[in-house]
Homo-oligomer: A and B are copies of this chain.
Amino acid sequence: MATTKRAVTIIDVAKAAGVSVSTVSRVLNNKDDVAEATFEHVRDVIDELGYSSSLAAKGMRSRSTNVVGLIVPDVSDPFANKVMRGVNQAIVEHHYDLLIYTNGNILDDISAAREQQYVSLLNNGLTDGVIIVTPSIGSFSSVGPVVAIDPHIHHPEAPAVISTNFKGAVAATQHLIDLGHRRIGFIRGRADLQSAIRRQQGYESALQKAGIPLDPALMVNGDFTRESGVPAAHQLFSLDPRPTAIFAANDQTAFGVLDVCETLGIRVPEELSLVGFDNIAEAAYCNLTTVDQFMDKMGYIGTKMLFDMIDGIPRQEYIYKIETSLVVRGTCSAIS
């Protein structure tokens, strides 16, 4: 790798080509008011010098960069990962490039100020618009458009894609109730996320509608990570009588429960029925019954919305709601 001290700039190209800087700029941006010969010549020089314009400088001056930004808390997180795939697909279709920004740590509790900062960072010249995954604030001040995926707070005028967490949780719980379960444990998600709260409400609602009294002992804390599912499961299993079913606020937490079942020798679904939420890729392989909230689609739709906003196409609706859907697989059985 030749770590050249200085990058070759538009000025270098202009000099080498014997034209002015603006001509080079015109060639760069495919303006059609350049003589054929000049155009070709400049192109050649650009290739020869291996020149590439700096996104930084370019974005600072002009308004359009043809790239969209995506802010995720953590690239490894399955939720964020699926959203990324959806976004990826959308940008390919629109011939945009994608810039993903992350500080890498989903538990690093990004403050609202920090989120706002990231949005500004990208939308201040680098990108034409940004998508932010699970932001804690619903509204951003930004030069370019912003679409939130599963935001904590729903601001009526803030474009967002959300899923029907409540309905999904009701469906999951109802499924367990239909199978005859009465003692159904619930492992919470991150308390600061709207989606987690709605899932708990769905759980409670389904129980109450079925006339099953709420038992606080059956509701334990978790934080959406696999690790948090472990102590939660232990806590639930130490109850007497043990719950016959568990609804975990997301798939990863459910996997934590599965880990505990393995070590404790509890058979699923014979001795314990289990439902997750999200339908991440691993869920299919592990045959986990769960609720699909189509995260990839959320990313895809969100990006489409963003493109409309970038193009100045007005939308009638700024909140796009995606219907969740129960995916019945092998981790639940009827009570004997």
Binding site for B on A (CB under 8 A): 1-7, 47, 50-57, 59-60, 74-76, 81, 84-85, 87-89, 91-92, 97-105, 113, 116-118, 120-126, 139-146, 155, 157-159, 281-282, 285-286
Contact = CB atoms under 8 A, between A and B. Distances in A.
- Among A52, A53, A122, max chain B CB count under 10 A is at A52
Nearest to A82: B76
Given A125-B56, A125-B57, A76 B104 contact: no
Copies in the complex: 2
Contacts of A282: 281, 285
Contacts of A117: 52
Given A141-B4, A142-B3, A104 B120 contact: no
Given A85-B75, A102-B97, A113-B47, A52 B120 contact: yes
B141 A2 contact: yes
A281 B286 CA distance: 12
A122 B157 CA distance: 34
A227 to B, nearest CB: 15
15 contacts: A1-B140, A1-B158, A3-B146, A47-B113, A50-B116, A52-B116, A52-B124, A53-B121, A54-B60, A54-B125, A56-B125, A57-B124, A75-B98, A91-B103, A97-B103
